[in-house]
Structure 1
Amino acid sequence: MESNSEMLDKKELLQRISTGDEKAFREFYYLYYQKLVSFARWYINSIELAEDVVSDVFFNLWKARNSIVGIVHFDTYLYSAVKNGCFNVLKSSYYKRVTLGVDELEMEAYIEPDGSDSKLMYGELNAAVTAAINNLPERCKLIFKLVKEDNLKYKEIAEILDISPRTVETQVAIALKKIEQELYPFLK
């Protein structure tokens, strides 16, 4: 969930971009680029094409910079633009769709440094969390990543993926339950 200061910072950046501030646009680009490329990879199994789609979205954003301040839910707008760009690539004749690739989602865990084997425990726990997330069904994994890594709200994800907010909530609950089951040996 975004804090009020993060929302104000984002609005300020958008305001500066709308006036042609290239430095603000670079900041905004670096804030979103990796997240959006990772999201695009859920649809396109090519890092190059995913980067192209995201670059096109940013190019079009810069071209239409005068009107971006009026966009109410900007995160939803960006992710939807990337998703639509991916669909356009998938529909095009020069792209053959193959199995979707997924970047690994890393999570941090905190272990009390009470002995020499704490690094080993951390490594095992981190590997178990990564494996648990990677074992989720694809759609569930995508929704979990958008909630936990990209900090999007359920309503925003529902709009981006064209599903109900209740479906998002259900998928997150399923993900958490499956992850908890796989991490049970670590829970004492």
Structure 2
Amino acid sequence: MSVSKKMSEIDIFQKLKSGNIKAFEQIYHKYWPKLFDQAHRRLADDEIVKEFIQDLFTELWQNRETIKIHTSISSYLHQALKFKIYNYYKSQQVQERYKQFIDTQRPPHLTNNITEERINYIDLHQALKHSIEKLPNQTKLAYKLKQEGGLTYSEIAATLKISTSTVEKHIMKALKLIREELKHFIWLLFILF
């Protein structure tokens, strides 16, 4: 990347951080097609892809004051989208495991009644998302990089510019807080994980 291009990205990002809607629109129009192509190669569903990208840009705008970009806007957006896709697949796997469990555990006379189980899963999924969002910022970021991004502790340490032991502390703190938040779902968590 040339120095002038890097400076231009830094300028645009600084304007975004200060709430400049034109800078946001410039980022949106520049990266939306590239992000769409990236996601569409991994997911065939255009609507889900569009929803992910819309969420990504919504989060960029809402969190613009606290976001730290260490490489480039492009790298940040592509990595964030990768996390969303990974999380989507992980969620699909959990849903499938839960469905398989319910199918094997359900008494024959309840075969056609799975509404309650689906509601329980949706409640659990929402509670988990909510508990993750309540984590302190650095702890939440470390947790997401580990769980959604699949990064190792040393990779997270390098990304966040902190020590590996600090990453371990953040992950342990996140797990403790999430367990506390989801304690009334413990029976369901035991089944799923």
Which of the pair has the greater relative contact order for Cα pairs under 8 Å at 6+ separation? 1
Which structure would you say has the larger Rg?
2
- Alignment TM-score, normalising by the size of structure 2: 0.46
- Alignment TM-score, normalising by the size of structure 1: 0.47
Higher helix share: 2
